[in-house]
């Protein structure tokens, strides 16, 4: 089964539920979805799906808790920046891109994620990803097209760990706009393990979503 078929099934299945009459009713899904699947026994790949009609607009940050020994490694193959967060102290430190070339961004993770405290247990590691940005008085994204806009999905968020599933997204109304520290809204949810999507496909049939090309 291809990734696009899996994503399609999840989206349509999440729009169906059993009504009191035992018939199926269609509802509009407006919350984002994160799918987790294993590339090998110790490596997870995440896919972030933003519904066509979305409560979160353009997604520009993604952090998810993990069961991992520290330090651990995370990565992307989709041009987002990434950092392995070992515990709450990293949340209050400047954002780092641990790829090549490495880079330090001006905001802390807390400032980028709307000023919220570390969303997991203080000693819990997390994989963290964000669209690169620059300081120009306020802050602007270097490539706004990398944001996950409504109706798009993006995969290739990688971590060498075991899943724990709780995630937080940072978003903005339009990634072409500037933003300030502590200003971006956040959304929290639970990731869906990939094997669970097989059953959803049986219910859901087919749906369409644009897979973001980077």
With a CB cutoff of 8 Å and minimum separation 6, the contacts of 210 are: 151, 152, 153
From CA 207, how far away is CA 64, in angstroms rounded?
26
Strand partners, 2: none
Tens digit of pLDDT for each residue in 3-60? 554 454 455 445 444 445 445 555 567 899 999 999 988 899 999 999 999 999 999 9
Average pLDDT over residues 100-129: 97
Q: What is the pLDDT of residue 25?
A: 52
Average pLDDT of the chain is 85
Residue 70 pLDDT more than 50?
A: yes
Distance CA 137, CA 180 (A): 9
* C-alpha to C-alpha distance for 77 and 114, rounded to whole angstroms: 26
- According to DSSP, the residues that pair with 205 across neighbouring strands are none
Cβ neighbors of 41 (< 8 A, separation 6 or more) are none
Q: Are the C-beta atoms of residues 26 and 15 closer than 8 Å to each other?
A: yes
pLDDT at site 58: 98
Instruction: Give CA–CA dist 185/71, Å, rounded.
Output: 29
pLDDT (tens digit, 9 = 90+) per residue, 30-40?
899 999 999 98
pLDDT in tens, 116-135: 999 999 999 999 999 999 99
């Amino acid at each position: 089964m291809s990734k696009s078929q899996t994503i399609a099934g999840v989206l349509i299945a999440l729009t169906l539920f059993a009504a009191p009459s035992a018939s199926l009713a269609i509802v509009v899904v407006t919350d984002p979805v994160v799918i987790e699947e294993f590339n090998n026994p110790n490596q997870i790949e995440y896919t972030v799906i933003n519904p066509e009609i979305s409560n979160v607009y353009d997604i520009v940050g993604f952090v998810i808790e993990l069961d991992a020994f520290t330090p651990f490694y995370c990565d992307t193959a989709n041009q987002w920046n990434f950092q392995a967060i070992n515990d709450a102290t990293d949340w209050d430190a400047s954002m780092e891109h641990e790829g090549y070339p490495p880079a330090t961004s001006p905001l802390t993770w807390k400032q980028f994620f709307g000023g919220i405290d570390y969303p997991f247990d203080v000693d819990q590691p997390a994989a963290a990803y964000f669209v690169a940005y620059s300081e120009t008085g306020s802050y602007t994204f270097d490539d706004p097209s990398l944001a996950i806009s409504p109706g798009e999905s993006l995969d290739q968020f990688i971590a060498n760990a075991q899943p724990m599933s709780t995630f937080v997204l940072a978003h903005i109304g339009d990634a072409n706009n500037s933003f300030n520290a502590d200003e971006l809204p956040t959304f929290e949810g639970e990731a869906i393990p990939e094997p669970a999507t097989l059953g959803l496909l049986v219910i859901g049939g087919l749906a369409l979503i644009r897979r973001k090309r980077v």
